[in-house]
Amino acid sequence: MVNLALSLFLTLPFILSVQGCPGEDHDHTHIEHKRAFPQAAVTPPTRALEWGDVNIIHTTDSHGWLLGHQKSSFPEPNYSGDLGDFASFVSHMKEIALRKDVDLLLVDSGDLHDGTGLSDGFPAGDVDAHESNKFLAQLPYDVMTIGNHELYVYANTLDMYKNFVPKLKGRYLSSNVNITVLDEHGNVVSVPVGRSEMAFSFIFRGEINDVTPWVARGKKVTALGVLFNFKGNDKNTTVQPVADMVKEKWFLDAIKEEPDFFLLTGHMPVVKNDWPLVFNAVRAVHPHAPILILGGHTHIRDCVQFDGRSMALESGRYMETVGWMSMKLDHKNSAENLTFSRRYLDPNRVTYEVSPLHAIPRIINLKLGTTEVPHNGEKPHLRYATREIDVQRSQSSCKVIRPRLRLRDPYPSNSSLLTLFASKAMPVALSINNTRANVPNVIIINSGIQRFDLYSGPFTRNDQLTASFYADAFFFIPDIPAGIANQVLPALNGARANEGRALMSELEKFENELYGRGYVDMIYMRWLDEMDKRGGVERRAAQNATLGYVTQDSCPGIGDDVVHAPLPFFTPPRFISSTPPNVSDDTPVDLVFVDFIEKRVLQILNTVQTTKNYTAVDVQTYSPVLSNAVMGLYAQQAWN
C-alpha cells in the first residue's frame, strides 16, 4: 500500500517554470525526466545505523531543494535524491521502527524558503514557497520549527501562518516568534506563528504507511521551537531574544513537569550560540532529564554534547545532509551517561535504499550505481514515486556555460563564480536602463551574496536563484574621487595594517551584525576551509574517494555515513568589487554597494578621507535591479 504522501506525489502536478534569459519568449517546453538512479556511481554506506529507544531523522535549511541535486559533477550526485525518494526512505524507516518497537521522529529545524526556482516566485506573482511547501506538508513531520527565511517578507510569514502551519496540526513550533494579524473581531493581535511549546505523548495511530505522526512506545515529550536572535525580520513580525524567552512564565510552566525526554528544536547552530541558555534553563529544573537538541542555520554538519545525558545535532543545508540521532534511555532520575549516536547521511537513492536494508535481516540483491534496482519484494516506492515527479521546465536558449563556475575556486580566476559576478555580471546588469551607466563606477558587494555554484549547461531561472537568492538593493554615493573609492574595498577587507586590533574589532562587530540579519556564508566558508586544511591535498591524492563533506565535530566516533575526500577550497575575501575604472585618481565616480553594507561603507569612507563627512543623506538608489536578478540579466546579454 502506498502511503498518502507518495500517492499525492503521484497525482499532483509538479511544474517548474524557469526562464534563464529574462524577457525571452518560448513556445517550447523541455521535459527533464528524473533519472531512475544517480548517473554517477555514488559510494554506498558501509555501516549500519545505530538504533536506540528514541530515533530521529532530521532535516534543516532545505531552502527549496526538493528536487535533489541533479548535476553530474561531484559532490552533486551525493545529494541527488529528491523529496519522493526521501518520503519513501521515511516510510521504510517507520516500518523498521515498528518492527523494532522503538520510537522514530521526523524533525525539521526551519528555513524552507529562499533558494531555488521551485520555492522562490513560483508560480510568478504568487507568495514564495506557497506551492513547494504543500509537498513538505504531506510528509509525516512530528515537529517543525521556524527559520529566519520564513520572516524576511511578511507575506511569506502570513502564508505560513494561514496555510502551512494548520496542516501540521499543532506540530509547528515558534516559541519566540510572533506575527501581527487581525483576530476574528478585527482587532490587531500579536500571536505565535506556530505553537510556543508542545507537550504530548506519542502513540501509534493508523496504518504503517499513514502520514499521521507516530511513535511506537507512547513516551511523554516536551518540545520547543526556538529561533536565534534574528534582527532582519519584516515589519509585523517579532523575534524575542532567547535570553528573555527563557524567563517567560509560559516557558517555565512548560518545563515544570519532567517528561521522558525534552525535544529542543530550533533554528540556531549547536555551537557558539544561545542553545546553552535554553539547555541550562531546563537543566536548572531537571538535572538529569534526557535532552535532544536539533539545530540549524549555519549550513554545516555539527554535533556537541553539553553533558552526558544530552546531544545536539545540526544537519547541513540544501538537502545535502539528512541527520540521524538515536538515544538509549534508562530509568528516570538516573545520573549515568546515556548512549547516543549520530550520523550524517548523504541524501541519494543508494543511501535511502541501503540504510534501511542494513536493519532488515535478509539479503537484498541491490545493484548499486546502476539504473536497475531489483527490490526483491521491497515496496517499489523508490521507483515510481520519483519517476512521476518529472519537472517541466521552459528552458532558455542561453549559451552553454563552460567551464563550470564555482564559489570555492580561487578568486580571482576564470573558474570563479565570484570573479564573473563582480567583474562582468554586475556591470552589465546594473547598466541596463540606468541613466548613470556612462558614469565610471566601483561596485562593491560581500562575497556571501553568491551562495551556490553554476554548472555547465543551459542557464535557467532555477540556476539564477540557487546561485543568488538574496534580493539586495544597490545603493550609491555619487562624485567620489576614484582614488578614494578605490581605497574602500581594501579597507573593508582589513588590509590597512596600521589599524591593527581596532580594525579587527570592527570587522568582528560587522560580521556579528551580518549574522544577526541571517547571513551565515562566512561560517559555512570557514567550515569548508578548515575541512580542506585538515590534509585535503594529501587525502585527495591518497584515497580513491569521491569529493564530499569530511566532518570533524566534538561528538564521539565518526559522523559521516560515507568516507569522502574533502572539497578543495580557496577562501575568498569578505568583499569583492567590479574592475576599477581606468581613470585618474581625481575623476568623480559612483561608489555603488549593496544596501545592507551601507553603514560599514560610510564608516570606511569617512576613514579613508576627511574632506567630507558622508552620511545616509548622501546615499541614493542606484538601480531597480536586485542582486538575485543580476545573473539572469547578464545571461540575457552575454549568453543568449
Maximum average pLDDT range among 10-19, 188-197, 223-232: 223-232
The mean per-residue pLDDT over the stretch 67-76 comes to 90
Answer yes or no: do 453 and 335 share one domain.
no
Assigned domain for 385 exists: no
Place of cell 524533525: 107
The full length of the chain comes to 640
Asked whether 310 and 290 are in contact (CB, 8 A), the reply is yes
Assigned domain for 465 exists: yes
Asked whether 141 and 171 are in contact (CB, 8 A), the reply is yes
Answer yes or no: do 349 and 407 share one domain.
no
CA angle 126/129/131 to nearest 5° reads: 75
Answer yes or no: do 69 and 211 share one domain.
yes
Answer yes or no: do 141 and 286 share one domain.
yes
pLDDT of 225 reads 95
Assigned domain for 530 exists: no
Nearest to 53 by CA among 198, 283, 215: 215
pLDDT of 282 reads 97
Assigned domain for 207 exists: yes
Cα 366–chain centre separation: 32
Mean pLDDT over all residues of the chain?
83
What range does the domain containing 626 cover?
A: 402-493+573-640
Assigned domain for 417 exists: yes
**Residue 11: pLDDT above 60?**
no
Last residue of a domain, one of 364, 386, 421: 364
pLDDT of 359 reads 56
Assigned domain for 352 exists: yes
Answer yes or no: do 213 and 301 share one domain.
yes
Range in 165-179, 225-239, 406-420, 537-551 with the lowest mean pLDDT: 537-551
Higher-confidence position of 166 and 393 = 166
Tally of CA atoms within 13 A in the half-sphere of 629 that contains its CB: 16
Q: Count the domains in the chain.
A: 2
Last residue of a domain, one of 336, 364, 392: 364
Answer yes or no: do 162 and 239 share one domain.
yes
Answer yes or no: do 64 and 179 share one domain.
yes
CA angle 215/381/104 to nearest 5° reads: 15
Q: How far apart are CA 42 and CA 267, in angstroms?
A: 30
Answer yes or no: do 210 and 310 share one domain.
yes
Local structure of 534: helix, strand or coil: coil
Q: Which CATH number does the domain housing residue 79 bear?
A: 3.60.21.10
In angstroms, the Cα distances linking 96 to 54, 143, 343 are 13, 20, 17
Last residue of a domain, one of 338, 364, 390: 364
Assigned domain for 561 exists: no
Answer yes or no: do 305 and 435 share one domain.
no
For residue 301 the three cell numbers come to: 554538519
pLDDT of 73 reads 87
Assigned domain for 500 exists: no
pLDDT of 558 reads 94
pLDDT digits (tens, 9 = 90+) for 572-614: 999 999 999 999 999 999 999 999 899 999 999 999 999 999 9
Answer yes or no: do 335 and 471 share one domain.
no
Answer yes or no: do 407 and 261 share one domain.
no
The mean per-residue pLDDT over the stretch 100-106 comes to 92
Answer yes or no: do 434 and 340 share one domain.
no
Q: How far apart are CA 640 and CA 629, in angstroms?
A: 16
E strand or H helix that includes residue 56: strand 54-59
